[in-house]
A and B are shown apart, each in its own frame.
Chain A
């Protein structure tokens, strides 16, 4: 298939539809509005349901209901809207339902601004809502990867019966890059995907036999029952941690003197700075976590080569993934951090300057 020049927001919407998403509930917010607009245009054409809810809280609870029916369902928002959805996401995690949530991050806290930021890392990777739960969190760094993650997110959600978040930002949403889509699922294939959920989901009971009804619930009033439920959830999360760590290595070698760690949009800028310094004969590598939960701790630890003097973390926040890097590094080498906040994105020149200073230290 030929490549198409598309905004990230449109590419993820198109990719979700091609991956079998036929139910989408959301409330508009910048900088992800092209996503909801695309869904409004395209869902009717594939006999899907697009519904603009009266609020984010309403939208996530529609997702809860649809996910309980075992259908591929998605919602999207940007930072403040995701906070509003947090209660519903916790319910969905508690009830062990598959769904996909897109967060096109903007500057915060509060209403903040509408420019790209990475301030929701803690919220996304540590749960976000109340209670002991985790989200699988995928962090794209290009429009192509953003689109590819649609089917990956739905597959992971189905496999583990858990909500999956794609954590993008305003730059990835607004930027255009060439995209090549994976093959579109046929209606039969989508129908077949739903069959994997018939053992637990709500679906029409043709013989009317009430003994076979399924219950979707996140309320367990008996502490001993809830205890076991949470233990079971954590067994699942341990399995996810074992199977689903994913990262990209950039210019990693035994000659590296600095190891950078960056994710999403920030990693693109760091790559440019590394390229320029490499041309000057300096050796710097970078680890980019692709899934930020589960976090690739071992990959980060392993990338600290024999000559690495410092690990340098760059983020568009005040240091959130930094904590996970410190866990991975275990104090073996000093960990430095530099970030920009408020929707201000650092430039390759700024990162290059920081790295040059680091070489001189």
Chain B
């Protein structure tokens, strides 16, 4: 199984981190992974995107032309990348910042007011963890437990409330993803 994913949003929304955690968890499950960020003279508020590939096969190109999964945290990301989602692929988007949504009817769509949910959990900062949860719930590309273990490892030595908030966000995301 191979999953080619693009995550996109405003700089500062944590889209690069979504790809990084998925790649890391994929690696820990023994899969091949690659993580290729857009980089440039970019800043908070500008646009950012990352191509992540998680696969049982060796990865040839880390560049994703036609994603199996697009995670769009804002409308410009849908406008730019949704047309290239593979037919039957998945679009996950944040309704709070994507007022026009997506017109395609040949893809699966999971949408949620991610900003509202993140705030409800405790902070807008956990929106990317919510997105990771949705990806896991919807695709099953990596196991929920792997992600939880990896996050616990990463957050070691930091405040326990933050860990809990992040784990809650992933949990909520998984529920939304499973539908």
Stretch at the interface among A53-61, A215-223, A344-352: A344-352
Cα(A177)–Cα(B36), bound, Å? 9
- Which residue from chain A places its CB closest to the CB of B52 in the assembled complex? A176
Cβ of A123 within 8 Å of any chain B Cβ, yes or no, is: no
- Which residue from chain B places its CB closest to the CB of A276 in the assembled complex? B60
- Seen from chain B, the residues whose Cβ lies within 8 Å of a Cβ on chain A are 20, 23-24, 27, 32-37, 39-41, 59-63, 65-66
Contact B34 A175 (CB under 8 A): yes
Known interface pairs A5-B33, A31-B39, A114-B40; A178-B63 also in contact (CB < 8 Å): no
Cβ-neighbour of B36 out of A31, A175, A271, A349 (below 8 A): A175
Q: Could you give, for residues 13-24 of chain A, a 1 whenever the CB lies within 8 Å of some chain B CB and a 0 otherwise? A: 000000000000
Cβ of A245 within 8 Å of any chain B Cβ, yes or no, is: no
Q: Could you give, for residues 339-360 of chain A, a 1 whenever the CB lies within 8 Å of some chain B CB and a 0 otherwise? A: 0000001011110000000000
Contact B34 A272 (CB under 8 A): no
* B24 neighbours in A (Cβ, 8 Å): 5
Contact A177 B33 (CB under 8 A): yes
Cβ of A171 within 8 Å of any chain B Cβ, yes or no, is: yes
With an 8 Å Cβ cutoff, the count of chain A residues facing the other chain is 24
Distance (whole angstroms) from the CB of A173 to the closest CB of chain B: 9
Cβ-neighbour of B63 out of A5, A274, A347 (below 8 A): A347
Contact A5 B60 (CB under 8 A): no
- Please give 11 more A-B residue pairs, beta carbons under 8 A apart, in addition to A5-B23, A31-B39: A3-B27, A114-B39, A175-B62, A176-B35, A178-B32, A268-B61, A269-B61, A272-B61, A347-B63, A348-B61, A349-B65
- Which residue from chain A places its CB closest to the CB of B35 in the assembled complex? A176
Cα(A345)–Cα(B39), bound, Å? 13
Cβ of A162 within 8 Å of any chain B Cβ, yes or no, is: no
Cβ-neighbour of B60 out of A175, A272, A349 (below 8 A): A272
Cβ-neighbour of A170 out of B32, B34, B39, B66 (below 8 A): B39
Contact B23 A348 (CB under 8 A): no
* B39 neighbours in A (Cβ, 8 Å): 30-31, 114, 170, 174
10 residue pairs of the A-B complex, CB under 8 angstroms, read A114-B40, A170-B39, A175-B37, A177-B59, A177-B62, A178-B27, A268-B60, A274-B60, A347-B65, A348-B65
* B27 neighbours in A (Cβ, 8 Å): 3, 5, 178
- Which residue from chain A places its CB closest to the CB of B62 in the assembled complex? A175
- Which residue from chain B places its CB closest to the CB of A141 in the assembled complex? B60
* A271 neighbours in B (Cβ, 8 Å): 60-61
Cβ of A253 within 8 Å of any chain B Cβ, yes or no, is: no
Q: Could you give, for residues 167-186 of chain A, a 1 whenever the CB lies within 8 Å of some chain B CB and a 0 otherwise? A: 00011001111100000000
Distance (whole angstroms) from the CB of A33 to the closest CB of chain B: 10
Distance (whole angstroms) from the CB of A19 to the closest CB of chain B: 24
Q: Could you give, for residues 255-271 of chain A, a 1 whenever the CB lies within 8 Å of some chain B CB and a 0 otherwise? A: 00000000000001101
- Which residue from chain A places its CB closest to the CB of B61 in the assembled complex? A272
